[in-house]
A and B are shown apart, each in its own frame.
Chain A
Amino acid sequence: EAQVTQNPRYLITVTGKKLTVTCSQNMNHEYMSWYRQDPGLGLRQIYYSMNVEVTDKGDVPEGYKVSRKEKRNFPLILESPSPNQTSLYFCASSYYGQPQHFGDGTRLSIL
């Protein structure tokens, strides 16, 4: 089954403790992206990747890192999480220019 898998689905952690949210897709898509969703602000793009070893900033990249060492994986790294990064996060993937497939989301709470 074609899918985008995010882990963990839920995480409560504390300020400053490094964390990684993994994203994996099994559709051989070149394009992958991370969004965060906050009430009243909609979904905003954090980072995206057009292919392996090619990443670029979206609209809200501050405080985040990403890597794309393999085509299927696109982890989101929070080196020193802060409470303002408490949010619902979505990973998405697609072929170039095609509709995006989204994961089920990761709800992060940073205390």
Chain B
Amino acid sequence: DAKTTQPPSMDCAEGRAANLPCNHSTISGNEYVYWYRQIHSQGPQYIIHGLKNNETNEMASLIITEDRKSSTLILPHATLRDTAVYYCIVRVGGSSNTGKLIFGQGTTLQVKP
């Protein structure tokens, strides 16, 4: 699975959009970009994933560049409860893989009042 690079920390004002970048320059054509977050020491929570196209769900939007070498997770209106460590993970899709998720150090997002 391709390696990802994320900034170690970011701040965001409550109510503003939080934009979390991720670089994955060695991504392969069959690898998806996944985002999870971990609030304090709770279990990681799935947010969103995508292959090529931009994706949006009730939690966030995922913007993937055309060359797929980087992506941005957007939380449109950050709240204090969005303070967490955000992990960008690249992995092969489909049923043949071991399902292993390689969590790096992630980005610690601090949402401030």
Contacts and interface: CB of A to CB of B under 8 A. Distances in A.
A103 B43 contact: yes
Interface residues of B, number: 20
Nearest to B49: A99
10 contacts: A37-B41, A42-B102, A43-B103, A45-B98, A58-B98, A58-B100, A90-B44, A92-B101, A100-B101, A102-B45
Interface in B37-90: 41-46, 49
Contacts of B41: 37, 88, 105, 107
Contacts of A99: 34, 46, 49
Interface residues of A, number: 27
Interface of A: 4, 31, 33, 35, 37, 42-43, 45, 48, 50, 56, 58-59, 88, 90, 92, 94, 96-97, 99-105, 107
A42 B100 CA distance: 13
B5 to A, nearest CB: 14
Which DSSP category, helix, strand, loop or mixed, fits chain B's interface?
Answer: loop
B42 A48 contact: no
B85 to A, nearest CB: 10
A92 B99 CA distance: 10
B94 interface: yes
Contact of A102 (B43, B49, B97): B43
The 6 closest A-B pairs by CB, nearest first: A102-B43, A96-B95, A99-B46, A43-B103, A42-B103, A45-B100
